[in-house]
Copies of this chain bind each other. A is one copy, B any other.
Amino acid sequence: MKDSFQILLKKEQAAFDKVLKEYLQQLNMPAYLKEAVLYSINAGGKRLRPLLMRLTCAELGGNEEHVYPAAIALEMIHTYSLIHDDLPAMDDDSYRRGKLTNHKKFGEATAILAGDGLLTNSFHAISTSPLYSAEEKVHIISKLTTASGLEGMVAGQLLDMEAEKKSISILELEHIHHLKTGRLISFAVEIGGYIAGLPSNKLQTLKSLGEYLGIIFQIQDDILDVEGDEEVIGKKVGSDSENDKSTYPSILGLEGAKIYKEKYLEEAMKCIEIVGLKNTVLADITRYLSERNQ
């Protein structure tokens, strides 16, 4: 699976990046702002969320080209959140995926503005797309703002900061990750199904699948920080424990975290079966996300 997953991701990147960059390139903005925006857009993101959206849509029989405006909006929001998260006042990171972070390269003020602009224009990309009806645009924008705004990702980020100063329960940890990571992954899967024309009860199942995927992704992230191979994952391991951060292994123990992850993998597989996607690449990816070593 690992190799074919990498090939899938590469293929996704090429097709998706073309649409994303075409959208940003045609915007009339100051040269330095465009440079800063494209720098982070081109900083080597895996495009996991767009891939999940496209696969869900395609495997349910939808027109996969129709996911692109929603997918580029989602990736722009993901990118803005990374730019702002890296700021000195937040995580204060100098590098991301081996490259200087946006504020290290362009200065803090420009990084703040590049993030603000990407966020704003993600809704512009949807609202001006010729591929959706007005009703579809409103549905997608309403879901995306809920997933990423004051009740979603932004709330998760704030709770995550607050949690750094105290010991939290497994339920609190899950709630934070649900908001911070799960909501956008869930949006990807749900909107993939929406564009494929799935009825609302099955969209609800896809939404749950996305939430489980978010948790599985996060637990594996925490596990890799304990027993991962630095060479393979490309970053230092053990930083969570150094920073005294609450993680699945720190609360449940390493074996406990693995059992917990298996439980969610089972739930995810149930959802996949319900929506009729049992023997698909989406099922393979779900397993891969749970077992990945990077």
Contacts and interface: CB of A to CB of B under 8 A. Distances in A.
13 contacts: A29-B155, A30-B162, A33-B150, A33-B155, A80-B116, A90-B112, A110-B158, A115-B116, A117-B150, A120-B145, A124-B145, A134-B138, A137-B137
A133 B24 CA distance: 28
Contact of A146 (B33, B90, B124): B124
A29 B150 contact: yes
A108 interface: yes
A248 interface: no
A201 interface: no
Contacts of A107: 89
Contact of A145 (B121, B146, B149, B151): B121
Interface residues of A, number: 52
B149 A121 contact: yes
A187 to B, nearest CB: 13
Interface string A105-149: 001111011011111110110011000011101100110011011
B154 A116 contact: yes
Contact of A112 (B27, B84, B121, B133): B84
